[in-house]
Structure 1
Amino acid sequence: MRNAVIAQSGGPTVAINASLAGVLKYNKENAIFSKIYGSLNGITGILEDRFIDLSKKLEESDNFIEKLKLTPAMYLGSCRYKMPLPEDKPEVYEKIFAFFKEYEIDAFFYIGGNDSMDTVDRLSKYAKSINSDVRVIGIPKTIDNDLVHIDHTPGFGSAAKYVATSILEMAHDTYIYKLKSVTIVEIMGRDAGWLTAASVLARNSYSKAPHLIYLPEVAFDPKECVEDVKALLEKQDDVIIAISEGIRDKEGNYFSASESKLDKFGHVQLSGAGKALEHLIANEVGCKVRSVELNILQRCATHLASLTDLEESVKLGETAAGLAAKGETGLMATITRTSDEPYETVYGGHPVCEIANGVKAVPREWINERGNDLTKEMVTYLKPLIKGEPKLSFKDGMPEYLDVTHLIEQ
């Protein structure tokens, strides 16, 4: 093969750069590509000729790959670009493949979530339609953990660890006062409640918070929620509730403090489930109530990253590079769990056409009958994913990350 180009897209995670590092690591050890370019801001960097030579970065620094593994968010930047169909905008595809030809590209790697895998699918099919030899491989990421045909996605384990740790710390904060209070923690998850489910890991021998957990997979009944809160407050002073941003009622309407809008991908832009529940409980229960939205902190907290998550993300990057080296295309690198105890996995690839636009929901049997808690099966699934702590490098008390001036000064 000659050269390769890699890009990142969608929402960032703590581990997405680790997958980028995995591709670079594989190439460094196996010399598959002469050069690896990095497209800035996703696929738009190719369309606008904005890219960097990652091979030079490796030559300039002996520890570039190691620092990249531990740098949060996206070293190459992201985009929210909806890839059109070839019949709607053929010029987009023509420009991308003209770029591939000019820079002698044999493989394109796209690290991202559901919409990014749709782009991988469309580009690989287009390549086949014009008899192009360019290999197009997807590398998964998303803190939502909602990609199908993969046990879990890179970024989820670290975000899960952050969520659970934050709720345990908030529990300590609430326990100091001798008064009735309710704390609501809103967690990312539009269609799947995996990240909110991870809050169950905050429980230990002395703290049972979160006391109530609500996911999008089960219809949310505000009346039942108030009943649950009142029942708990009769026995204890503090109630901590974990809710997904995408909770909705039995009619499918989102429980939100403001009217929902659609983004360019047709996804609902949610706002205020926690605040809406705060107002409801304050009015119906009458105790001290506050809501907390974790927001982007869930996806950029390298100081609470899971070492397992980072190591698996690197391995998935290596797997993707290996697939391309074998001449494969139209696949997404995957991880399959073969054992819970001991925790064991295998890596491979799956046709991206069977992954794009699918959503992996939390199994209903992993949620209790009333829909306000989780079963032991969920805990068993989650526990291995948050294990281990990476060793960060600090300077003057602050973590040292890679310089991203190339994103700031575009």
Structure 2
Amino acid sequence: MGNVVVGQSGGPTAVINGSVLGVYQAAKELGADHVYGMVHGIQGFLEKNLICLEDYLESGMGRELLRRTPSAFLGTCRYKLPQIAGNEAVYEQVFAVMEEYQIEAFFYIGGNDSMDTVKMLSDYAASHGKSQRFVGIPKTVDNDLPVTDHCPGYGSAAKYIAASMKEVIRDVQSTGLTKPTVLIVEIMGRHAGWLAAAAALAKGEDCDGADAIYLPERVFDPEDFLSHIRAVAETKNTVVIAVSEGIRLGDGRFVCELSGGADSVDVFGHKQLSGCGLTLAEMVKSQTGFKARAIELSTLQRSAAHLASLTDADEAREAGYHGVMAAAEGRTGVMTVLRRLQDRPYLCSVDVHDIHTIANQEKTVPKEWITEDGRGLTEEFIQYARPLIMGELQPLYIDGLPGHLVRK
């Protein structure tokens, strides 16, 4: 195999760099002279902002540190490639850089919008007689890419969310207050509630779990929400609720818009959500008189590599590794996907699938996995998610803290 390039795009995860490592290891096994990294994704690639990964991974603890480094080691971006028609110059610029660096294969690690980049580049290559190959590597804590059973990054985020829920439940229960206290935990998730659903994993022999979990797959009813809190408060003094940031009212508005959130949009036209938890906490205080506060897990849920799932870390590496193998076989315009073979013991394989049925599509939590009252998850979800959080990738400590690999 000739030279290859790998990039990262969109929101990072705790294990995204494992996919970079997988690409690197496979490419080197196949004889690649250079494995280039795009600094800040396709945007950096267009500016020829590339590094040689050999400089970081061929000595010392580089590979082990990379695997344990959260967020995007190469830097990420949210750059949207324009449509091909009328914008051929941008695409020709991509291929000019590939030819200058003698790059045969392009690997892009990301979610929905990143897979659209892979689709458009592979389509342009096919229609213009280009021989370079383009492969997508799935990555998203949102777990909303279709076809693949789950996405690398989700398992570690789910592990962090479930662990954090256990800890905040323990904290609020220890206060011993006589006046009911309500805690709202706001979790990422615009249209798909996979992350908030992970709060259900906190329930076990040593934890009662959340008193309700609200996902964007169901319309949010404020009156039912308040009624449920009042009912729970009749039997205990603490109420803990998990909510997706993207829960909506019956009229389509995001709950956070009730207090002025979601005013700005990103380059892909997505509203920037903020303040759902605070909005609900204020609603509880004003309507019930209970003490209420909100916690927003924010970027912590996608960057907590110290609590990464070993299963997730291993699958992130495998997704990158098998992407290179697919390209070596001549495949292009595809994404690596995870195929679940069985739950107990958990077994998963890696395959590839046509990018055209994946890009710009979104997979939500199955309706049948949400309880009839809309406030929880069924055992089917637990069986699906539990294997993904299993195992621990122990940090390499430096001066008492987890060590990371840093780009020069």
Could you tell me which of 362, 365, 376 is aligned with 1:362?
A: 365
Q: 2:109 aligns with which of 98, 108, 111?
A: 111
Aligned residue number for residue 10 of structure 1 = 10
Structure 1: stretches of 5+ with no match in the other structure? none
2:227 corresponds in structure 1 to 227
Q: Is the 8 A contact 2:2 2:103 kept in 1?
A: yes
* Equivalent residues of 1:41, 1:78 under 8 A apart: yes
* 1:274 and 2:280 are equivalent in the alignment: no
Write the letter of the residue equivalent to 1:219. V
| Corresponding residue number in structure 2 for 1:237 | 237
**Amino acid paired to 2:114:** S
Partner of 2:313: 310
The aligned residue for residue 384 of structure 1 is 387
Q: 2:194 — aligned with what?
A: 194
Correspondence for 1:142: 140
Instruction: Say which SS state the counterpart of residue 362 (structure 1) adopts.
Output: coil
Q: How does 1:5-404 map to 2 (within 5 A)?
A: 5-31=5-31, 33-59=32-58, 61-179=59-177, 180-256=180-256, 257-260=259-262, 261-404=264-407
- 1: CA distance between counterparts of 2:45 and 2:320? 20
Matched length: 403
Where 2:134 maps in the other structure, the secondary structure is: strand
Contact preservation (8 Å) 1:209, 1:239: no
Q: Is the 8 A contact 1:25 1:65 kept in 2?
A: no
Specify the SS of the correspondent of 2:321.
Answer: helix
Further displaced range: 103-112 or 20-29: 20-29
TM-score, with structure 1 as normaliser: 0.96
Displacement after TM superposition at 1:62 (Å): 4.2
Distance (Å, rounded) in 2 between the aligned partners of 1:355 and 1:191: 16
Identity of aligned residues (%): 47
For residues 359 and 290 of structure 1, the distance between their equivalents in structure 2, rounded to whole angstroms, comes to 32
> Could you tell me how far 1:63 is from its partner in structure 2?
3.1
Q: Write the letter of the residue equivalent to 1:258.
A: G
Shift of 1:391: 2.0
Alpha-carbon RMSD across the aligned residues, in angstroms, is 1.0
Q: Distance in 2 between matches of 1:388 and 1:187?
A: 23
User: Shift in Å at residue 47 of structure 1?
Assistant: 0.8
- Summarize deviations over 1:334-381 as a string: whole Å, max 9, x none: 101111111111111011111011110000000011111111111111
User: How many angstroms does 1:259 deviate by?
Assistant: 4.0
Map Cα deviations across residues 33-79 of structure 1 (whole Å, 9 max, x no partner): 221111100001111111101133333x1432222111110110011
Structure 1 CA distance, aligned partners of 2:277 and 2:56? Answer: 43
Do 1:82 and 1:265's aligned partners in 2 also have CA atoms closer than 8 Å?
Answer: yes
Distance in 1 of aligned mates of 2:108 and 2:242: 33
1:307–1:390 Cα contact (<8 Å) kept: yes
Q: Deviations over 1:188-239 (max 9, x none)?
A: 0001000000001111224222110000000000000000000000011111
